[in-house]
Structure 1
Amino acid sequence: MANAPKPATVKKESSSSASNVFATLVIPICIVIGFVIWKYVLGDPSNFIDNNNENLPLPNNYPGTAYKGGPIVAVLIGLLLTTIVFSIERLIVIGKASGKSSLDTFIIKVKGLLNSGNIEAAKAECDKQQGSVANVIKSGLKKYSEVEADTNMDVEQSIVAIQKEVEEATALEMPMLEQNLTIIATLVSIGTLIGLLGTVTGMIRAFAGLANSGAPDQAALAVGISEALINTMTGISVSTLAIIMYNILTSKIDKLTYAIDEAGFSIVQTYASSHK
């Protein structure tokens, strides 16, 4: 019996490794794509005067203006893409963790079956639902059946065993849900800081234009200010998207955690009330 949980543990570790590989690949790929977009889309000669991207952008040409923000814009585009990719990946994972049908409906069904004492039907409902929440609840239900059949355990010991099983199952499932959230949280700060770096370099270029040959170079000044503002805007965009998605994802995970806690409490209460 002590070795029973190992297959599930191995499965979770395999999933974790796959997620780590995914994270390792996504970030550099997104940065490379960011440079490609910056160089060949924003820097397309048609966006500039005389079809030369070394000249000023055409009037009201936003891609050309963004290109003048410099290579830091490419990095920020890469970070923006990274935020989007990880957000979509987490939404998919959390969606699968919820199961096939509505989570609220599933919890109501399980609680109803528990109240009627139909443990096997509750297990079948978990098999039908699938997902992390159903897996945790099914683990608790299995332990319920085990302790009920064990005549050597009193009610108090059985309740503790069920609670422990639910906690252990939750501990196995939760890391999978929270994985890569730290990357999104980190992008909140990194986006702002890199945008600020671009702002500083742009202002340096602007002041260098003012100091050129003792007379202001309007073109150099314009390019410097453009670089500063474009980087600021892009950095803020990355951070804004990252913090919005982080809050959305954490709220979804909190909802799953609450559902697990609610079902776990129902399992324990059902056992306690039926074994007074």
Structure 2
Amino acid sequence: MNFSVLELYDFLAKGGPVMVPLIGISLWMWVLIFERSIVFWMLKRPVDNKAASNLPMLKNIAASRKIEERLINAIAQNGCKDGIPDPSLADAYIKKEKNMLRRNLSTINILAAIAPLLGLLGTVVGMVATFDVISAFGTGNANAMAGGISTALITTQSGLLVAVPGLFMGAFLSRTAQGIAAGLDDFAGLIRRTG
């Protein structure tokens, strides 16, 4: 099933004015989803052994994530007393990293939750248009009523098409962030034991 650009434009135009913010919300949400996906992918890449060699005491516990590499570098540069890592610096760094991990996740979930509400608003707009046609022409003119009903259905469908994958991706990214944060907590425990 091929859609041309004109057919897509016609579909969006039939959805009425509510389609504009719905498209905007969808684009904004997917930009944030891709941004978080790239950030999380980068954090899961293997640690550079050079970073672990900055602090010999942590060389053996440098796990397999870039986020730990940054923590090792931060401790090596600022947080050692006589070659022993300072646990308070690790705790402050981990708190900062956890905030970075959660960035934009609530926005993604909010945008996904707003989409079906905008679809519902479009449904109301379409039904109001249908009732306006009924009041002007009666129920005998089915073609005139079809435009309002079409608007109602298109916006409802579009709102759900934006919301369902957005909610799924928001939940997936939240679980990923929690997993990375748990790994950071484990890593901090190793640092505390070496300190």
Q: TM-score, normalised by structure 2?
A: 0.79
**Structure 1 match to 2:130:** 206
User: Does 1:92 pair with 2:34?
Assistant: no
Q: Which has the higher contact order (CA 8 A, sep 6+)?
A: 2
- How far apart are the structure 1 equivalents of 2:90 and 2:17? 50
Structure 1's consecutive aligned runs of 4 or more residues displaced over 3 angstroms after TM superposition are 62-66, 137-145, 213-216
**Structure 1 match to 2:20:** 74
Equivalent residue letter for 1:131: K
Q: Is the 8 A contact 2:57 2:194 kept in 1?
A: no
Give the 3-state SS of the residue equivalent to 1:136 in structure 2.
Answer: helix
User: Does 1:224 pair with 2:148?
Assistant: yes
Equivalent residue letter for 1:136: L
**Structure 2 match to 1:171:** 95
Gaps of 5+ in 2: none
Task: Determine which of 53, 59, 63 is the counterpart of 1:121.
Answer: 59
Q: Mark the CA change 1:137 to 1:247 in structure 2 (over 3 Å): closer, same or farther.
A: farther
Q: Mark the CA change 1:145 to 1:78 in structure 2 (over 3 Å): closer, same or farther.
A: closer
Instruction: Indicate the RMSD between aligned Cα atoms, in angstroms.
Output: 3.2
Please say which structure displays the higher CA radius of gyration: 1
Q: Mark the CA change 1:207 to 1:256 in structure 2 (over 3 Å): closer, same or farther.
A: same
Task: Determine which of 167, 182, 185 is the counterpart of 1:258.
Answer: 182
- How far apart are the structure 1 equivalents of 2:138 and 2:65? 72
Gaps of 5+ in 1: 1-39, 48-61, 150-157, 272-276
Equivalent residue letter for 1:119: M
User: Does 1:134 pair with 2:69?
Assistant: yes
- How far apart are the structure 1 equivalents of 2:167 and 2:180? 20
Q: 1:133-178: CA deviations, max 9, x gaps?
A: 32224545778852666xxxxxxxx8xx51x222101122222222
- How does 1:1-276 map onto structure 2 within 5 Å? 41=5, 44=6, 47=7, 64-98=10-44, 100-101=45-46, 119=57, 121-122=59-60, 131-139=66-74, 145-146=80-81, 161-162=86-87, 164-271=88-195
- How far apart are the structure 1 equivalents of 2:138 and 2:173? 54
Q: Mark the CA change 1:192 to 1:237 in structure 2 (over 3 Å): closer, same or farther.
A: same
